[in-house]
Amino acid sequence: MWPFSPRQGPPRRYPAVAIGDIVAVWGENSGWEFVDPVLEVDCTLAGIDVFHEAIVQKLPLVRKWIAELNEDIGTAVREHADRGGLPVEGYDLQSIDVAALASEDTIDVCYTSEDWADYAVNVVISNGQIVELFGGD
């Protein structure tokens, strides 16, 4: 007789949701993730258990906000980096947290730089306006 029995417990879920050309994948540690095919950037939905189609429907709005606010975002990120003694050039759009997009028309855009080590600057945009800027590891 084999002394080991199969592990019992709730089944693990690793679903994927496809809406148009967006494929969102669930990760146990990271929640929902997908790549915006236009911006070519990772989008996350941390803390959201159910993937809502409204997120995908509002992606054109997200792209519009980022394009329209590009200059203001750049100025804010550079000023924040400068205040922290970090190099002010050479940062990149790392990811966008769209968890509050469907319910509040709010996104959290994360910028990083190879020169900043693990530091990131986040720009929170709500209804097309920058409402908060913060940084951290």
Tens of pLDDT along 110-136? 999 999 999 999 999 999 999 999 999
Using the predicted structure, report yes or no on whether residue 11 has a pLDDT greater than 80.
no
What is the chain's mean pLDDT, rounded? 90
CA dihedral 29, 35, 36, 37 (to 10 degrees): -170
Q: What pLDDT is recorded for position 27? A: 86
Mean pLDDT of 10-22: 78
Using the predicted structure, report yes or no on whether residue 4 has a pLDDT greater than 70.
no
Q: What pLDDT is recorded for position 15? A: 85
Residue with tokens 């000023």: 79
pTM of the model: 0.87
Percentage of the chain beyond pLDDT 70 is 90
Taking CB atoms within 8 Å and a gap of at least 24, the contacts of 119-128 are: 119/84, 119/86, 120/94, 121/77, 121/80, 121/81, 121/91, 123/73, 123/76, 123/77, 125/65, 125/66, 125/69, 128/64, 128/65, 128/68, 128/69
Mean pLDDT of 87-111: 95
